[in-house]
Structure 1
Amino acid sequence: MIRYDLTGKTALVTGGASGIGFATAKMLAGFGATVAVNFLADDPRGPEAVETLAATGARAIAAPGSVGEAGAAEAMVQKAVADLGRLDLLVNNAGTPGTRHRIAPPQLDLITEDLWSLLLEVNLLGVFRCAKAAAPALKAAGGAIVNTASIAGLGRAGSSLAYSATKAGVVSLTQNLARALAPEVRVNAIAPGAVDSSWMVEWTDEERQQSIDRALLKRRCQPEDLAEVILFLGFGAAMVTGQTVTVDGGLTL
């Protein structure tokens, strides 16, 4: 693993209470950064995550708020920046599948207007809202943004066709935010494959095993595998911007 000295650096991680978000916050804090952990205000895992980090001696603050709500997302970012004092990295990780069970592509009747609205608000507009609100602070710090896309946004079937479409939107938005915020801010994304983390979709044992069998590296990603790449894109990779890095153990191959 690449190691970083992030003393004096700061980061805001959306969806930071569990899974990839928490692993990223923990890794950032472990290398010395002060981390604002975003979570839904009614999610008990949020305060627990902040307490867990603080118990290790890490510098972590709570940043509750919904990225899927216009106004609330921007207010959350602005308060987090004020509390941190500066912002070097924004990790746009918050997202939702909007369903507990996979909706196969032919099941169009299950793709409702409500599902579309939820996924667009959280997975796509949430990324834009937070990036726009954080842009002044990131420009001042010469910072970076890392978005969480998905292999579902790169042509693979995801939890639903609506979910895949929003993640494809994140890939495109990443490229265009890189154009919009250059040269001061780099903007990249990761595209996770199958990840062992707390996620709303209840994959069957067969589907889970298939994701292992089809991967070249013969295992599913751990949240820490994604966190490592996020840190590289955030604090290394000085000439990389507008890119989406697939992290799937060779599943898409």
Structure 2
Amino acid sequence: MTSLSAANKLRYDLSGKAALVTGAASGIGLATATMLARNGCAVAVNFLPDDPRGPEAVANLRQEGLNAVEAPGHVGRAGDCEAMVEAAIGRLGRLDLLVNNAGTPGVTEVVEPKRLDLITEELWETVLQTNLLGVFRCSKAAAPWLKESRGAIVSVASIAGIHSAGSSLAYGATKAGVVNLTVNLARGLAPEVRVNAIAPGAVDSSWQIAWGEERRQQSIDKAALKRRCTPDDLAEVIVFLGFGASMITGQTVVVDGGLTL
């Protein structure tokens, strides 16, 4: 059930629902976990075991009186990922939404497509394990629970996986993989589970890439809406696809303020 708040944002009654959000120590993941929890959802907050921001994020949510639990684990590691999902669902008692947000660029500086010499085996291994295989691992582990609840999966792809260069061609390839995986998971888990993705454009959040002020300003100038996305902008679409879009599945929704127009 939804209604428009004074802030012109959709509100949901998610009492009795439960979600797992990966990579939720900061940025899009934290914004999504926060929005879900403030709408009554019980949320498992996934983060890397050595990231102090994870427990801090959960503590802050609990201070608001919200239902949040810690779910430490590395989605980029086989075994660790599946164990994290099982433990998180065990603490929640059910699962209605999986948000595959965890990802990494694998680099700290933008690698232009022509710089093939900088695309190493190590880079491929890093981005493939987390950005693509991590999405599959989490989805596979969560599938039985989501089928039982007739729930949903929402993954975070990128405009780099559609028609933008992104931080590197390796990163873009993994995000293109997420787009394709979304379509086929939607086929494979239907009719019980809906599976969708979002493709963010330029986002103002804590990310490892040093874009530089010139590139940042260019992303604003090129966007039809003349601003960059915030994590809340993306969280709003994720929550909609998770709980308010009963006839949408297999789709990747571009959320970029018209940057790619």
| Equivalence for 2:6 | none
CA distance, structure 2, for counterparts of residue 151 and residue 94 of structure 1: 16
Q: Which amino acid aligns with 2:231?
A: P
1:74 to 74, 78, 82: 82
CA distance, structure 2, for counterparts of residue 52 and residue 226 of structure 1: 21
Q: Which amino acid aligns with 1:164?
A: G
| Equivalence for 2:104 | 96
SS of 1:128 mapped into structure 2: helix
2:53 to 35, 42, 45: 45
CA distance, structure 1, for counterparts of residue 110 and residue 159 of structure 2: 15
Q: Which amino acid aligns with 2:206?
A: S
Alignment of 1:180-191 (within 5 A): 180-191=188-199
SS of 2:154 mapped into structure 1: strand
TM-aligned CA deviation for residue 155 of structure 1: 1.5
SS of 1:90 mapped into structure 2: strand
2:71 to 60, 63, 75: 63
Alignment of 1:207-222 (within 5 A): 207-222=215-230
| Equivalence for 1:26 | 34
Give the TM-score normalised by the residue count of structure 1: 1.00
| Equivalence for 1:203 | 211
| Equivalence for 1:113 | 121
| Equivalence for 1:87 | 95
SS of 2:208 mapped into structure 1: coil
CA distance, structure 1, for counterparts of residue 208 and residue 62 of structure 2: 27
| Equivalence for 1:235 | 243
CA distance, structure 2, for counterparts of residue 179 and residue 71 of structure 1: 25
CA distance, structure 2, for counterparts of residue 138 and residue 48 of structure 1: 28
TM-aligned CA deviation for residue 211 of structure 1: 0.2
Output one character per residue of 1:74-120: Cα deviation in whole Å (capped at 9) or x when no partner: 00001111110000000000000001100001111110000000000
Report whether the alignment pairs 1:165 with 2:173: yes
SS of 1:61 mapped into structure 2: strand
SS of 1:3 mapped into structure 2: strand
CA distance, structure 1, for counterparts of residue 12 and residue 54 of structure 2: 25
| Equivalence for 2:14 | 6
Q: Which amino acid aligns with 1:39?
A: F
1:179 to 182, 187, 191: 187
SS of 2:10 mapped into structure 1: coil
Instruction: State the percentage of identical aligned residues.
Output: 72
TM-aligned CA deviation for residue 140 of structure 1: 0.3
Q: Which amino acid aligns with 2:184?
A: N
| Equivalence for 1:223 | 231
CA distance, structure 1, for counterparts of residue 27 and residue 86 of structure 2: 24
The number of residues matched between the two structures is 253
CA RMSD after TM alignment: 0.4
CA distance, structure 1, for counterparts of residue 70 and residue 10 of structure 2: 27
Q: Which amino acid aligns with 2:37?
A: A
Report runs of 4+ in structure 1 exceeding 2 Å deviation. Answer: none
TM-aligned CA deviation for residue 206 of structure 1: 0.5
| Equivalence for 2:4 | none
| Equivalence for 1:150 | 158
CA distance, structure 2, for counterparts of residue 112 and residue 28 of structure 1: 38
CA distance, structure 2, for counterparts of residue 234 and residue 139 of structure 1: 14
CA distance, structure 1, for counterparts of residue 29 and residue 214 of structure 2: 26
Give the TM-score normalised by the residue count of structure 2: 0.97
